[in-house]
Structure 1
């Protein structure tokens, strides 16, 4: 199963490399685009949940790494100022 990293710039200036066990993230996020904080979290939640389910379909168990990444995204989002935007910088395929 192809995995990827998507690199984001948080509103507070911090950069993060985020992991996905599937390329499905490409269906929800676009490099060079910025997203309202809530929109980024929702798109990430949807993509990483799908990615985890793809792992379940193939291997019989959910992907804990995808779910852990989602938890890190949600936690980071809570620390951001309201109204901030998250920029998706690049994908590493």
Structure 2
């Protein structure tokens, strides 16, 4: 399966490299686009769940790396829940 990394920038300006075992991320995000935190979380949940399910369909088990990435995104997002109008920017899709 083609895997990919994508770089996000949190509301405080911190950049993070994220992992997906599937290119499905490209269907949910566009490089250079900023998303409201809640929207970013919803899209991340859906995309990384689909990515994990694709691995499960092919190999018989869900992708722990995709689910772990989702857990890290959800944990990171909690730090910004009190920010006024927090936004996350998807900066790039990395090779």
TM band (smaller chain): over 0.9
Q: Deviation per CA, 1:44-73, whole angstroms, max 9, x where unpaired?
A: 100000000000000000000000000000
Alignment correspondent of 1:26: 26
Q: CA RMSD in A?
A: 0.7
Q: Which runs of 5+ in 1 are unaligned?
A: none
The number of aligned residues is 93
**TM-score (structure 2 length as normaliser):** 0.95
**TM-score (structure 1 length as normaliser):** 0.97
Alignment correspondent of 2:85: 83
* Displaced runs of 4 or more, over 3 A: none
Alignment correspondent of 2:67: 67
Q: Which runs of 5+ in 2 are unaligned?
A: none
